[in-house]
Amino acid sequence: GIQVEQSPPDLILQEGANSTLRCNFSDSVNNLQWFHQNPWGQLINLFYIPSGTKQNGRLSATTVATERYSLLYISSSQTTDSGVYFCAVPADRGSTLGRLYFGRGTQLTVWP
C-alpha cells in the first residue's frame, strides 16, 4: 500500500508561533486530506487538497502532487490548536472513494 510519512512526530510551541507540518507519500494520489484530532479524540477534516494551495483562517495547506508531499501551515498558533494532525490519502489512486491510508501524525502542543 501507499506509505504516508509525517514530520515532525512532535512539536511544542508557544502561543503565537508559526509552524509547518509535512506529509510525504510514496505514490501519486488524486486526493489528500488533513485532519485534526482534538484531545477528546474527535477527528475533524481541515482540508481536502489534492493539489495547489488552500487557506482557511490561520491554517493553510499546499500539496505538490508531482513531488509527493503536502504541507500544513499554522500561523499565530493558539492553545486550541493542540492535538494530533494527520494527513491521509486514498488507497486506490484511481479513485477518491474508499479506504484512506493515514500517517502516524504530528502531536502539536501549544503552551500559553
Partner 1 sequence: GAGVSQSPRYKVAKRGQDVALRCDPISGHVSLFWYQQALGQGPEFLTYFQNEAQLDKSGLPSDRFFAERPEGSVSTLKIQRTQQEDSAVYLCASSPGQGLGYTFGSGTRLTVV
List residues near partner 1 by CB under 8 A: 4, 31, 33, 35, 40-45, 48, 86, 88, 90-91, 95-105
Complex with partner 1: residue 26 or 45, whichever CB lies closer: 45
C-beta closer to partner 1: residue 5 or 17: 5
Closer residue to partner 1 in complex, CB, 14/40: 40
Nine-digit cell string for 6: 509525517
87 φ, ψ to 5°? -110, 155
Cβ–Cβ < 8 Å for 85, 73: no
Least separation in angstroms between CB 20 and partner 1: 19
Record the cell numbers describing residue 101, joined without a space: 491510508
Compute the distance between CA of residue 39 and CA of residue 21 in angstroms, rounded to an integer.
18
